[in-house]
Amino acid sequence: MESFVNHILNAVKGFFMGAANVVPGVSGGTIALITGIYSRIIEALNAVLSVDTWKELFRGHLKEFWKKIDGWFLLALAIGVLLSVFTLAKLLEYCLSAHPIATWAFFFGLILASAFFMLKALKGWKGADVLFLLIGVALGLVVCTLTPSQTPDNMFFIFLCGAIAICTMILPGISGSFILVVMGKYDYMMAAVSNLDWGVLAVFALGCLAGILAFAKLLHWLLARWERQTMLVLTGFVLGSLVKVWPWANVPSPGSPAVMPGLTGHLPGLPSAILWCHIGIALIVAIELLSKKKQA
């Protein structure tokens, strides 16, 4: 049994993981690696998805069930994650509303640097690796160019967003909030958290649960057998999806709302965008240095 202090420390780690997953480009999985709890999270999730674990519950062995899923650890982590999501949502909603170009530039820097370090981690490149990377880039471009800027607000689509986003939240290097950006629902979900729209949040949470149950095992299987190829496709997808995070692609032109300023050569707020892009890059570099130090 862990001490109360350890539970508090796990909640703090959960807080930083939640903060990372709220910001596109910063991976909660990377924060879990830095704080030394990544493997423990994977083991706990595998236990939750195990039939043998649930047999303990159905037999009335509550203590054994709680121990198998590492219950106190997951509970402390969940409290920290939820606390960070609900405290940061209003800040990000304000930033996106009052300073959209600077905010999206910050996100662009985060995601660009994340993709760079994902590529840097892959050693011994071969011709086939480039092919997998290009497949990922093509997928990212197709998904982002075919996804409309205004995606449906119906509950089925919110459920789908939750199911897909939760799977990326456990991957180092790619964040769940980035997937929400790609699917055109980042602003919408931040507003739902900020305004405590419990209906939307409940459907999103059910989607997350379904995603974990349906895809976590598949993801674990893919990474166990084709880790390199999977990570190459994912990294390519991140690179291709940068078109969705281009700061001026999210701000309609004052003269014509249908035309994006980034496509007309008019880039308002460029100095601020460059500054915040570099701040985003610097943040990822700092996180990577901490990660390397932790691994050493």
Range of the domain at 165: 4-295
What domain count does the chain have? 1
- Taking the C-alpha atoms of residue 189 and residue 96, their distance in angstroms, rounded to an integer, is 13
C-beta atoms surrounding 70 within 10 Å: 18
What is the CB-side half-sphere exposure of residue 288 using CA atoms within 13 A? 18
Tell me which of 124 and 204 has the higher pLDDT: 204
* 174-200: b (≥16 Cβ within 10 Å) or e: bbbbbbbbbbbbbbbbbbbbbeeeeeb
Q: Is the pLDDT of residue 253 over 90?
A: no
The two three-digit tokens of residue 165, written as one number: 């986003």
**pLDDT band per the 50, 70, 90 thresholds, residue 204:** very high
What is the CB-side half-sphere exposure of residue 234 using CA atoms within 13 A? 26
pLDDT at residue number 24:
75
End-to-end CA distance of the chain: 28
**Number of residues in the chain:** 296
pLDDT at residue number 216:
65
The two three-digit tokens of residue 93, written as one number: 């909603």
- Taking the C-alpha atoms of residue 256 and residue 266, their distance in angstroms, rounded to an integer, is 12
Residue 223's alpha-carbon distances to 235, 236, 288, in angstroms, are 14, 16, 21
Q: Are the C-beta atoms of 29 and 173 separated by less than 8 Å?
A: yes
- Taking the C-alpha atoms of residue 62 and residue 104, their distance in angstroms, rounded to an integer, is 46
pLDDT at residue number 200:
93
Angle between helices 198-240 and 100-120 (to 10 degrees): 60
Q: Are the C-beta atoms of 29 and 42 separated by less than 8 Å?
A: no
| Residue 269: strand, helix, or coil | coil
Q: Is the pLDDT of residue 60 over 50?
A: yes
Per-residue DSSP letter, 248: G
Question: Is the pTM higher than 0.75?
Answer: no
pLDDT at residue number 205:
92
Q: What is the pLDDT of residues 88-122, one digit of tens each?
A: 888 888 888 888 899 889 888 888 888 888 788 77
- Taking the C-alpha atoms of residue 178 and residue 190, their distance in angstroms, rounded to an integer, is 13
Tell me which of 100 and 31 has the higher pLDDT: 100
Q: Is the pLDDT of residue 51 over 90?
A: no
- Taking the C-alpha atoms of residue 287 and residue 289, their distance in angstroms, rounded to an integer, is 5
